[in-house]
A and B are shown apart, each in its own frame.
Chain A
């Protein structure tokens, strides 16, 4: 069962009241995975937003060499690329503990509830803008460092 107390701690739902969180509970589905199960695959259409309830989930690049892996903590929302062009998962998600419980919310369901509950849409868009914006800035930083190094070495 998904509790309002748990959703209240999810950053993506920051600022939402109990009534709005209850709407999310209605749209959400609690799923259980065992170690090694794949939740989604890098490059697939991103059709769901996911929130880790308990256990461990790792996000892994199938193409990076050396392999890049990041582990998520409880109440972390992932799969926010369902709101960002080109609407594909950038990484694959795997269950990395004996058992993990994960909340799944279909994007199509969210799209339907946003007009009636715009506060939920606004909270999620703020979270997503922050998430994609931070990644964008990290890439800009990386590019600036590379180019800066190149300019200084040519100087």
Chain B
């Protein structure tokens, strides 16, 4: 098996405790694949035969909706270099729960035959213990991160302030407010307040919008328009994901 596969394993947390020979044995159960943007590595509901290690690129784990193409909106987690996906292949009922899509220009991922891997670990229980313990640490941390992001988003209250001073209105704040009002009409969430505010002294970056999620520092979005407002509403207000590309540098530092 290629040195490349062993190198990929050496960089991956779950396989880092292995020595050179052990990595070589697991590399023998593996195949490296290259994917382009939009390619699907596996689909939710399929038998989970392989565990995957991402060597290069970014992969979204997404849920599918019948009759619709997936998009960024369907993403539950985004993972990149040296992370493992498809660990459903190691636990009953051995079925992928989400689909995996390459979302960078190119993705390089190594798939490991899960049944053979489990057999090998069972035959070498010392190694099996170390690999599974390391994998539990990886999965546990990711679970914790997902719990935090899920907990923040649907429960925490939010205040969205569109700054509608003269400078803001001149720059297009009314269109931003209209988009926000339309999004509010569609959501079932009760704990979101929409407010209008005055100028905050940042006239050159108007229209400005401040999103304040309960328990977090407020984020000021700048150069807003209707489309950006809809995205900020869906991503940040509803799911707690700050849209950094629309924020001012001051809030990022």
Contact = CB atoms under 8 A, between A and B. Distances in A.
Interface in A8-53: none
B179 interface: no
Given A128-B132, A132-B136, A140-B61, 7 more contacts: A130-B92, A132-B143, A143-B146, A144-B98, A147-B73, A150-B187, A150-B238
A130 B63 CA distance: 21
Q: Is chain B's binding surface mostly helix, strand, loop or mixed?
A: helix
Contacts of A118: 125-126, 128-129
Interface string B209-250: 000000000000000000000000010001100000000000
B76 A144 contact: yes
Interface residues of B, number: 42
Contacts of B97: 137, 140-141
Contacts of B238: 150
Contacts of A130: 91-92
Given A148-B65, A151-B74, A84 B98 contact: no
A122 B125 contact: yes
B29 to A, nearest CB: 18
Contacts of A143: 76, 146, 150
Contacts of B90: 129, 133
A152 interface: yes
Interface in A111-150: 114-115, 118-119, 121-122, 125-126, 128-130, 132-137, 139-144, 146-148, 150
B135 A129 contact: yes
A152 B131 CA distance: 41
Given A140-B146, A147-B74, A125 B129 contact: yes
A31 to B, nearest CB: 26
Classify the secondary structure of A's interface with B. Answer: helix
Contacts of B146: 136, 139-140, 143
B140 interface: yes
A132 B140 contact: yes
Contact of B136 (A83, A114, A137, A144): A83
